[in-house]
Amino acid sequence: MKTRLLVPFLLLAASLWAQEAGKTIVRDQKFHVVYRGELGKWWQNADIAKKLQLNEGQITQLDQIFYDHKLKLIDFGADMEKQDLKLQTLLDADVPNEGQVETQVDQVLSARGKLEREYTMMNLDLRKVLSLEQWRQLKSIRGDGGAFGDRIFFHKALPGPGGPGPMTAPLPPGVPALPPPPGDDL
């Protein structure tokens, strides 16, 4: 009984955190993964690179860090999708086995935690390439103190004006929307 109440509550809570995405990847008709614009290669944005005064060595390092972590993020994302699918299959049963559902919820949360951890470590590694002044400037450009954009959000899609689609909220005032750089297909 607790699990049946917990899963919808978690999905609703996660949807409330979702912000306008730089990119949305449709996993299926029930769930979407929303990546904020900051997830992309922000250092490839000419205006940001100029404001931060990034040198070629830094850009090369940032590209390599992004690539290395992206490989892991793809694997962790795939594992999370598998765990979500297993959970959905259990929940779709006529009479769900509460013990199995509870165990699978733990598997989903574990997979999601690995994905979040890897994403956080990527952001930390990217940050290490910047000087303290560059980091402060980047936070100022993003307008969020640095932490808000460093998340991946998962939410359930509800029917909108055009049918099912991502639930998004507008960016906070003063936060520029960063378009995904060309060739950024994360």
- The domain spans of the chain are 2-159
Nearest one of 179, 183, 155 to 169, comparing CA atoms: 155
- Between 183 and 101, the higher pLDDT residue: 101
pLDDT of residue 144: 57
Output the CA torsion sign for 126, 127, 129, 130: positive
Average model confidence (pLDDT) across the chain = 71
pLDDT of residue 122: 93
| Separation CA 118–CA 115 (nearest Å) | 5
Q: Is the pLDDT of residue 92 over 50?
A: yes
Q: What percentage of the chain exceeds 70 in pLDDT?
A: 56
- Between 91 and 171, the higher pLDDT residue: 91
Q: Is the pLDDT of residue 12 over 50?
A: no
pLDDT of residue 100: 97
Nearest one of 157, 178, 179, 167 to 17, comparing CA atoms: 167
For the ranges 13-22, 43-52, 130-139, 173-182, the lowest mean pLDDT is seen at 13-22
Rounded mean pLDDT of 33-57? Answer: 78
Tell me the per-residue pLDDT of 108-163, one tens digit each, with 9 for 90 and over: 999 999 999 999 999 999 999 999 999 999 888 877 544 444 443 333 333 344 34
**Dihedral pair phi/psi, residue 170, rounded to 5°:** -65, 155
The model carries a pTM of: 0.58
Q: Is 174 helix (H, G, I), strand (E, B) or coil?
A: coil
